[in-house]
Amino acid sequence: MLQVLSSAWALLLGIGLLMLGNGLQGTLLGVRGSIEGYSSFTMSLVMSAYFVGLIFGSRMAPGMIRRVGHVRVFAALASLISAVMIIYPAVPNPVLWMVGRLLVGFCFSGVYVTAESWLNNAADNENRGKALSLYMIVMTLGLMAAQGFILIGDPAGYLPFVVASIAVSVSFAPILLSISPTPAFGTTKRMTLKELMEASPLGCVGMFLIGGVFSAQFGMAAVYATQAGLNLSEISIFVASFYVGALVMQFPLGWLSDRMERRLLIIFVAGIAGAASIFAMILGGSFVLLLASAFVIGGLVNPLYSLLLAHTNDYLEHDDMAAASGGLVFINGLGASTGPLIIGWMMSDGMFGPSGFFLFMAILLGAMVCYALYRSTQRAGVSVDETGTMAVMSPTATSVAVEFAQEYAIDTELEEQENASQAG
């Protein structure tokens, strides 16, 4: 781990700063939207635009990188992100915010692809798993730290938005000054969505549902908190609780994933997260119980992404694992882009109000439990001895990082098979 950190610390620092800026701008817009008097549905349109931008960016970024190179793509897109974050408070208009979020989502997708390509190039077979783990830890820490910076100034003013812009701008330096040779960039042949659905129906349906749940956390948590009457410091702690849970629970669930039937674990994890959502909806008037629920939901929902990815791999040949990554990320993005629209409607005054935030997540998680139970009756599960390694991933990762994780899973499985044959 120290070897990876010493060789890639500048890249990881830059990624952490990028996530700080990204996490801060999302929470700030949720709070600022309430100050400006925008409805929950209006804010859902703004938040959804980010995930639509991510989908387009993930599709277009590889072509941009091949044409002009990693450095130019990274610098150009990060500069646009920094500029948009200044425009938000200067022109508080929901239509402009929607366009800005669309652009920011597009740019962040390209930035992630570039950074993940560099990280993949810097890793080898021996430290690939550690590099992935560090990458996910740094991303989560950046999102957590962002929630503390919301207290640096009044969201009705400029200062917090300026801080987000500075964080993104400063991220250029450690990344661009530390990168020597830029990696060759190639794309893997993709599986069609039909082929992917035939290989792992639960993986595809689960990825769509988890996209909606994650977008609720990432995009609408601050909107919920303002509607629920939390003050600024409480909003900061509440949103951070989701990411603290994700950081704490990711690795224990990864350990369990390699030691029990994965469909059972998916049912167990989704069921508890859904129960925690109902618990928060009923008893959310207590701030302590609200934080506990957010910790449990974030701690279980985020690892579900990695768990579903590993479950899908169990039904794929090695040659198809990397090919499946683009389709899985696309399906997850579709769920993430539609999630805020539905949750904004559910949180409106004519529907369920703020409690619609947790009701939405409970419905999606309940649907995942039901579908996983149904799939358990359709074919036998893969035995624990035959399952591959679960790589720790984040729902914010692009197809490059997912391919990176697939390569790690393949290498680990082949190494285990070789060791087993030698021992036999």
Domain ranges, ordered by start, for the chain? 2-423
State the pLDDT at residue 70: 72
Give the SS3 label for residue 126: coil
Asked if 289 contacts 241 with a C-beta cutoff of 8 angstroms, the reply is no
* Phi, psi for residue 187 in degrees, rounded to 5: -120, 145
Rg of the chain in Å (alpha carbons) = 20
- Which long-range contacts link 78-82 to residues 24+ away (Cβ below 8 Å)? 78/18, 78/107, 78/111, 78/168, 78/169, 78/171, 78/172, 79/169, 80/104, 80/107, 81/21, 81/107, 81/108, 81/111, 81/168, 82/21, 82/165, 82/166, 82/168, 82/169
Amino acid in position 18: L
State the pLDDT at residue 409: 65
State the pLDDT at residue 123: 64
**Helix spans in 150-286 (H):** 159-178, 193-199, 201-215, 221-227, 232-257, 262-283
Say whether pTM exceeds 0.85. Answer: yes
State the pLDDT at residue 407: 66
pLDDT tens digits, residue range 105-135?
998 888 887 777 777 666 665 666 667 778 8
Asked if 164 contacts 29 with a C-beta cutoff of 8 angstroms, the reply is no
pLDDT along the chain (424 residues), means of 10: 64 86 91 91 92 84 76 83 92 93 89 75 64 80 90 90 91 70 56 83 92 89 92 93 90 80 90 94 87 93 85 75 74 88 88 92 96 88 65 67 65 64 61
What the block records as the tokens of 412 is 């680990």
State the pLDDT at residue 212: 92
Q: Which CATH class is domain 2-423?
A: mainly alpha
State the pLDDT at residue 329: 79
- From CA 18, how far away is CA 231, in angstroms rounded? 26
